[in-house]
Copies of this chain bind each other. A is one copy, B any other.
Amino acid sequence: MFNKNNVKLLQEELKKKNLKAYLIFTSDAHDNEYVGKKYLLERLFFSPFSGSAGQVLITQNDTFLFTDGRYWLQAEKELKGSGIKLIKDGDKDVPSLKDFIKENNLFPLGINLKNITESKYEAFLKSGVQIVDTSFKYLIDEKLNEEVHKVFKLNDDLVSLNYKEKISIILKEAAKSGADANLVSTLDDIAFILNLRGGDIPRNPVFYSYLYLSKIAGNHLFIDKNKIDFELDDITIHSYEDIFGFLSRHKDIKTLVDPNRINAKAFKLLNQPIKGRNPSYLMKAIKGEKEILNTKKIQALDGLALLKFQKYLEENIDKNLSEYDYSSKLEEFRKECPLCFDLSFDTIAAVGKNAAMMHYEPTKSNHSIVSKDDIELLVDSGGQYYGGTTDTTRTFLIGKPTKEFIHDYTLTLKALIAVSSTIFLEGSSGQTIDIKAREFFWKEGMDYKCGTGHGVGYILNVHEGPNGFRYKKVPERDDQDPLKEGMITTIEPGVYKQDKYGIRIENNLLCKKAFENDQGRFFKFETITYVPIETKCLDLNMMSDEEIDWLNDYHKMVYDALSNLTKDEELLKFLRTKTKAINKK
């Protein structure tokens, strides 16, 4: 796709248009965490870098790639001979993209306003950078032969509310802030509201679209019409591209719109925007009765796949299979269940020092062999099921653990247990609780450089807000809402020691009412991940009786959940071994 001439053509256009530079984001018009191929096309046309994060800045004479530490090695390799300069974003003394643009006076700057959120756009303006809405689509002579992924409806037994009920609640909420309409561009929110799913982005069962809801102007879905084979009562279906024309025609309606999620191009068309969060953001996180019931069912099915995997791992450990082989095998086990239609993210299967890199992912061409030479195989994986989305990590013991490993593994489990058994007052957010996990590590001068957990979607994106565990607020994450009954959040503490090993144990926690009295309403968590936790590398002397009881109770629950799902005597025997109660003597 990329060749140097593409950049030259663009640089000539810059001069004609009197633009100092053009900035290409790795993003789509919907602020989705992962970006569909169509939206990546432009960046790939003007740079050979293939990573999943980074910005390309093309000036009249130069080209720069900004990307963070995860991609520096890859970028250096891929950029070789391209003439594109790598800027190591986040490195010491390296200016931010915004500062770089300011310091070098690279404006007027061309940006395709469809690919930047209103908030980020405003931040550019505030810092004094002048921006011109620009597209060089016409230079791209490549066409993507993209498969059409059909949108499908979720059966009634999968959803607690139908889409009309959801729309009615949303419009009532929007009215509270004085809005007569709500423009939703966030893909998982649209899928949630309409009880529809799609396949435009691998691992994220969403479909590219905009949804405009209004009592005055009616409800409108903007989507590639090839993707949808049915009509929706009360909703007019338009072509995807028609959104901008539609907004121009309805610009005077007071429209609730989230500046942190809407693209700047759509936002600018509204004369009376009411800035605020989309009501669907919180609604989506609070799972209803059916969603909870189904999630528990498929979590058990997912647990069965992981159980089979662990048995396979133990039986094949001497066969020199690779991380990639194992991750493929795990996918096979998951897909044995007809309810599983995708993974919820690319499987992380990593031994030893690979596991110490939080974002490591084995591929067909880049992986290590799994053998007893390493202490552990860390597997972080999940499935998309008709019935829910899972996200589980287990650190499987494959070699001989060192004292240090045993110590760190035990700390990690203690952290998981501490959060899982917390009782907390209504109003508490993930930040209130996070220290229950982190304190074990902090005491010893350790820390894991990520959140302790994130919200999990329902047959949707594996990462969602507004719930999450972290020890300090990160405003742009917007994931520190008070925890509510029905929210599902991961808990995933870990230890990452460079060139040594990585340890993580991750469960999914459902927030439930514990009790209520004159002091208020108290919440607790129910663990809804059913996968045995390795006990052979625990230092029981570091654990309290309560912690050991918790683990034994958990394994009893896992046994009960999984033993009903199989009649395979070998597997049941393995399950019994893996869920056997432990004690100090």
Contacts and interface: CB of A to CB of B under 8 A. Distances in A.
A447 B520 contact: yes
A432 B435 contact: yes
A431 B425 CA distance: 13
A81 interface: no
Interface stretch (A87-95, A225-233, A437-445): A437-445
A435 B438 contact: no
Contact of A445 (B428, B431, B445, B522): B522
Interface string A429-460: 10111111011001101110000000000000
Contacts of A427: 471-472
B434 A432 contact: yes
A472 B429 contact: yes
Interface string A445-485: 11100000000000000000000000110000000001000
Contacts of A438: 425
A428 B482 contact: no
Interface in A498-554: 515, 517, 519-520, 522
Contacts of A423: 439, 442-443
Contacts of A519: 445-447
Nearest to A449: B519
A424 interface: yes
Nearest to A544: B544
A523 to B, nearest CB: 9
A541 to B, nearest CB: 15
Contacts of A436: 435, 439
Interface in A126-178: none
A423 B472 CA distance: 15
Contacts of A520: 447
A453 to B, nearest CB: 15
A96 interface: no
A482 B474 CA distance: 12
A422 interface: yes
A442 B521 CA distance: 10
A452 to B, nearest CB: 11
Interface centre among A427, A439, A517 (most CB of B within 10 A): A439
A446 B520 CA distance: 9
Contacts of A447: 425, 519-520
A559 to B, nearest CB: 27
A420 to B, nearest CB: 14
Interface in A222-264: none
A17 B423 CA distance: 57
Contacts of A482: 472
Contact of A428 (B422, B428, B435): B435
A425 B422 CA distance: 21
Contact of A471 (B432, B442, B445, B515): B432
A445 B513 CA distance: 12
Nearest to A480: B473
A225 B434 CA distance: 52
Interface string A564-581: 000000000000000000
Nearest to A427: B472
Nearest to A431: B431
11 contacts: A423-B442, A424-B471, A425-B442, A428-B472, A432-B435, A442-B522, A445-B519, A446-B519, A447-B519, A447-B520, A472-B482
Given A424-B442, A431-B431, A446-B519, 8 more contacts: A422-B439, A424-B439, A424-B471, A425-B438, A425-B442, A432-B435, A436-B439, A447-B520
7 closest Cβ contacts across the A-B interface? A427-B472, A447-B519, A432-B471, A423-B442, A423-B443, A445-B517, A431-B431
